[in-house]
């Protein structure tokens, strides 16, 4: 049986009935309240909105606010049959729990229909990290003589040197850079700020980008700010911040030019490589947790498994009795 592609899953969602007005109001009311209550990141809120809208459109009787446990179970079972992954269904269940838990606390429901629903078992997926040599080849792939190439090289250098998430990199404002102190001010998940040190190599490329590439891409004009008045650090030829999708396409293009296995390249590949290589060179978990901006040390500990797996592979290749 072949796996269901994302395009096929999107087509099945589009085939569902349109969203009812009552459901749309209930979902948006929850999203606004959840943002104020939890400070969740925009990507999390967008994911919750999509998941709740999908459930509301699937229901052919009654609105989403009146769903019971059997209805939720039926929807999860339908998604599993249609090909949604356990990880996707686990995220959906998180959205449903947040939605109905909030309605229960607000006195809008007398019960929580998600109370006894078990999340699907998730395989423990280790991040795919590039080797140090592969990282070097990827960093050297952009043609830095052109403004776009210099920008791409600088973005790759920063992502690897600082362990940034893709969203943190593309949303980094120009005023988040302090070259004199050699740090970046990063706003991570949940709106939490952290300071990340810049290495000499990354700082050198950033200085080159600010002196040459950014003015060229902006055409000598000021870069417009966002709703908070903050201008993006990394821009395209239209003076706009790069999207995550645009940067991902850029990474894939440069990885292909560097002859790197496509299966090892992901939007967070350089972040994973940053963490793994630091551990391989003796960094401690607490320091790595602060650099990555993880709220829990257990999230950081997965990188110890990556490093251990690499050591096992090294032993298997080179030890005479492996």
The reply to whether 303 belongs to the active site is: yes
- Which of 20, 69, 212, 268 is labelled catalytic? 268
**Cβ count near 284 (within 10 Å):** 9
CA distance 265 to 159: 14
- Which of 59, 271, 272, 277 is labelled catalytic? 271
- Which of 75, 160, 209, 303 is labelled catalytic? 303
CA distance 30 to 258: 46
The reply to whether 208 belongs to the active site is: no
Backbone angles phi, psi at 39, to 5 degrees: 65, 25
3-state DSSP assignment of residue 318: helix
CA distance 52 to 26: 10
- Which of 165, 254, 272, 277 is labelled catalytic? 165
- Which of 20, 189, 212, 264 is labelled catalytic? 189
Backbone angles phi, psi at 178, to 5 degrees: -125, 90
The reply to whether 271 belongs to the active site is: yes
Quick one: which of 273, 303, 307, 305 has its CA closest to 286? 303
The reply to whether 189 belongs to the active site is: yes
The reply to whether 75 belongs to the active site is: no
The reply to whether 294 belongs to the active site is: yes
CA distance 16 to 58: 6
- Active-site residue set: 165, 189, 268, 271, 294, 303
């Amino acid at each position: 049986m072949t796996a269901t592609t994302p395009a096929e899953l999107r087509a099945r969602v589009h085939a569902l009935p349109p969203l009812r007005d009552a459901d749309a109001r209930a979902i948006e009311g929850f999203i606004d309240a959840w943002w104020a209550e939890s400070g969740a990141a925009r990507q999390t809120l967008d994911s919750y909105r999509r998941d709740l809208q999908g459930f509301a459109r699937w229901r052919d009787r009654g609105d989403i606010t009146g769903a019971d446990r059997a209805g939720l179970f039926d929807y999860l079972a339908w998604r599993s049959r249609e090909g949604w992954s356990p990880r996707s269904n686990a995220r959906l269940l998180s959205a449903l729990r947040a939605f109905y838990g909030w309605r229960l606390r607000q006195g809008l429901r007398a019960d929580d229909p998600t109370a006894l629903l078990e999340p699907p078992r998730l395989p423990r997926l280790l991040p795919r990290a590039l080797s140090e040599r592969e990282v070097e080849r990827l960093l050297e792939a952009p043609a830095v003589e052109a403004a776009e190439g210099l920008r791409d090289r600088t973005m790759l250098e920063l992502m690897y040197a600082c362990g940034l998430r893709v969203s943190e990199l593309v949303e980094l404002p120009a005023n988040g850079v302090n070259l004199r102190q050699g740090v970046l001010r990063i706003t991570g998940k949940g709106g939490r700020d952290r300071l990340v040190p810049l290495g000499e190599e990354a700082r050198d490329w950033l200085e080159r980008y600010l002196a040459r590439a950014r003015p060229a891409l902006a055409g000598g004009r000021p870069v417009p700010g966002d709703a908070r008045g903050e201008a993006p650090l990394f821009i395209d030829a239209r003076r706009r911040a790069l999207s995550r999708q645009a940067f991902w396409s850029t990474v894939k293009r440069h990885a292909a030019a560097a002859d790197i296995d496509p299966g090892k390249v992901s939007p967070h590949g350089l972040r994973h490589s940053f963490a793994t290589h630091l551990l391989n060179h003796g960094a401690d978990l607490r320091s790595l947790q602060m650099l990555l901006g993880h709220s829990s040390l257990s999230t950081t500990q997965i990188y110890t498994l990556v490093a251990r797996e690499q050591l096992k592979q090294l032993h298997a290749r080179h030890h005479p009795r492996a």
